[in-house]
Amino acid sequence: MSNAIYEKITKCVEAIREKTSFEPDVALVLGSGLGNYAENIKIEAEISYNDIPGFPVSTVPGHAGKFIFGYVGDVKVVCMKGRIHFYEGYNVSDVVLPARVMKMLGAKILFLTNAAGGLGQGFAAGDLMLITDHISMFAPNPLIGPNIDELGARFPDMSEVYKKDLQEVIRSVAKENGIKLQEGVYAQLTGPSFESPAEIRLLGNLGVSAVGMSTVNEAIAANHMGMRVCGVSCISNLAAGLSENPLSHEEVQEAADKAAPLFTKLVTESIKKFQI
């Protein structure tokens, strides 16, 4: 049976294949703070989302984003500079379309990064956090609707989305490079409003250490397809109610930019060490 979502994915893959035959092993989604990550890639090809028919693109002019294909060390990567968020108004199937496309281009590992509000014990703005697990039920599930059997099972297991061996690599890289690395559970909420202090207290009671507006949609879709997932959050701020200041996008961006050098190092050295 044909499935409109699957057809859209395969059309995007075909459009990309008309422009490059590069087959990445690792897919990297760049969150806030890693906007200049392309500097660390030996670039082989770049494809603007605008040039892929059907691909969800931002309606803000100049903010379309692009795929960057190339090498981190000897590792073949595809990077997403600019991700699709549910709060922008896209269907969740469009939010996860890029991850599905990157898998079909060859990527076996999905490395997710983001900026997040921190509520874990002892967390401070500027910390990096290894995502050990997630809480998804405050965000739409991207697998709702007819199952796309070509991609994965109807009821996929989610007991180890963030693969232990990849976590171990990231931990060891942090240690070797003297990078402080927190660990914890990431919860995705829809946004775009930040959380209320009561919501943050609730999430704390649920065992959440970091909260944001991305990542879990993509992680679920990737796990469904059998990709090996890992993720790191940049704790750009303490979550609502945990500091005196009201939250602002500017504060998030500023803190993420400040953490960028260490974040970049952690991501780059980890990718080089992953067992593909």
Say how far apart CA 86 and CA 189 lie, in whole Å.
10
Q: Tell the smallest beta-carbon distance from residue 79 to ligand HPA (Å).
A: 20
| Residue closer to ligand HPA, measured from CB, 36 or 245 | 245
| Residue closer to ligand HPA, measured from CB, 177 or 248 | 248
Say how far apart CA 262 and CA 259 lie, in whole Å.
6
Token pair listed for 11: 């059309």
Closest residue by Cα to residue 41 from 80, 82, 69: 69
Decide if 85 is catalytic: yes
Q: Tell the smallest beta-carbon distance from residue 143 to ligand HPA (Å).
A: 23
Decide if 134 is catalytic: no
Say how far apart CA 186 and CA 167 lie, in whole Å.
14
Decide if 129 is catalytic: no
Decide if 63 is catalytic: yes
| Catalytic residue of the set 37, 237, 240, 269 | 237
| Residue closer to ligand HPA, measured from CB, 157 or 250 | 250
Q: In the bound complex, which residue of the shown chain has the CB atom lying closest to ligand HPA?
A: 117
Q: Tell the smallest beta-carbon distance from residue 187 to ligand HPA (Å).
A: 9
Give me the residues that bind ligand HPA (CB under 6 A), please.
115-117, 194-195, 211-213, 236-237, 239, 247, 252
| Catalytic residue of the set 6, 71, 87, 90 | 87
Instruction: Look up tokens 């969740």; give the residue.
Output: 92
| Residue closer to ligand HPA, measured from CB, 33 or 142 | 33
Decide if 32 is catalytic: yes
Say how far apart CA 211 and CA 224 lie, in whole Å.
22
Decide if 115 is catalytic: yes
Q: What is the 3-state secondary structure (H, E, C) of 65-96?
A: CEEEEEEECCEEEEEEECCCCHHHCCCHHHHC
| Residue closer to ligand HPA, measured from CB, 4 or 137 | 137
Q: Tell the smallest beta-carbon distance from residue 95 to ligand HPA (Å).
A: 15
Q: Tell the smallest beta-carbon distance from residue 252 to ligand HPA (Å).
A: 4
Say how far apart CA 33 and CA 137 lie, in whole Å.
26
Token pair listed for 233: 């959050």
Q: Tell the smallest beta-carbon distance from residue 186 to ligand HPA (Å).
A: 10
Decide if 251 is catalytic: no
| Catalytic residue of the set 27, 107, 115, 225 | 115
Say how far apart CA 69 and CA 75 lie, in whole Å.
11
| Catalytic residue of the set 36, 63, 158, 168 | 63
| Catalytic residue of the set 44, 46, 88, 183 | 88
Question: How far, in Å, are 52, 108, 135, 251 from residue 225 at the CA level?
Answer: 22, 10, 19, 35
| C-alpha angle 67-73-77 in degrees, rounded to nearest 5 | 25
Alpha-helical segments (H) within the chain: 4-17, 92-95, 97-104, 164-176, 197-205, 216-224, 249-273
Q: Which residues are catalytic?
A: 32, 63, 85, 87-88, 115, 213-214, 237, 249
